[in-house]
A and B are shown apart, each in its own frame.
Chain A
Amino acid sequence: AQSVTQPDIHITVSEGASLELRCNYSYGATPYLFWYVQSPGQGLQLLLKYFSGDTLVQGIKGFEAEFKRSQSSFNLRKPSVHWSDAAEYFCAVGAPGTYKYIFGTGTRLKVLA
């Protein structure tokens, strides 16, 4: 069965600092991988996705993620965080060709001015 783990419940960074949010998954083959962001009182917005090909994926708002098969990871990165990036971030795993998406428990990002 597929599963996804986000080890960090909360992360605090200073504005302008770099950011890395961790995501590990369990799946028998290469899954579809997603990162979503949720601002307070809002729905989830897709930041980026990986289906196949280049393992470094660029997304919106300056985010990128790298798929590492050997580590079963899909970590989200941003070189310089802005105060508006404060939100909750969810990693999700999808089984290709199915409707089943498993979401991680989320990482809440706080940005210090």
Chain B
Amino acid sequence: DAGVIQSPRHEVTEMGQEVTLRCKPISGHNSLFWYRQTMMRGLELLIYFNNNVPIDDSGMPEDRFSAKMPNASFSTLKIQPSEPRDSAVYFCASSSFEELFFGEGSRLTVL
């Protein structure tokens, strides 16, 4: 199994630019999570999808953040416009039975 695949692994952009992070979950997993990891706040849940439907987006910081899951094998997290405080590592995770499988993360730096 290829595991959860995220791209890009690293992204450096300038403030105000649009950022799109991508995730391919493990085949057969029906739950998908986007987390953000920072030194100050640790690992925070941004949004949770079940069967491609957003169930809980209460962790999304503000309207600049949006996430989609058009099908069972693909999800995106978009930030528009990006700000320096969005700099963090963004993880995608998928699960089928209570156990989370994480991708390697996308490290975002907003200058």
Contact = CB atoms under 8 A, between A and B. Distances in A.
Interface of A: 32, 34, 36, 41-46, 49, 51, 90, 94, 96, 99-101, 103-106
A71 B22 CA distance: 41
Interface of B: 4, 31, 33, 42-43, 45, 48, 50, 55-56, 91, 93, 98-105
Given A43-B4, A90-B43, A99 B55 contact: yes
Contacts of A51: 98
Contacts, number: 44
Contacts of B100: 34, 44, 46, 101
Given A99-B33, A99-B50, A99-B55, A45 B102 contact: yes
Nearest to A106: B42
